[in-house]
Amino acid sequence: MSQEQEKIERMVQQGKLSRAEADELLATLEPQDSGQPHPSIQGTQPRTRRTFRIHVDKANGKHVDLGFPMSLVGVGLNILARRGKAAIDLDGKDVPIDTEEIRRLIADPAFVGELMTVHTGDGDTVVLSVE
Q: What digits encode the pLDDT tens for the residues 3-41?
A: 777 888 888 888 887 887 777 777 777 654 434 444 444
Q: What is the pTM of this model?
A: 0.56
pLDDT at res. 46: 38
How far from the centroid of its chain's Cα atoms is residue 128's Cα? 9
Burial of 40 (0-12, 13-18, 19+ CB in 10 A): middle
Cα–Cα distance for residue pair 70/90, rounded to 1 Å: 25
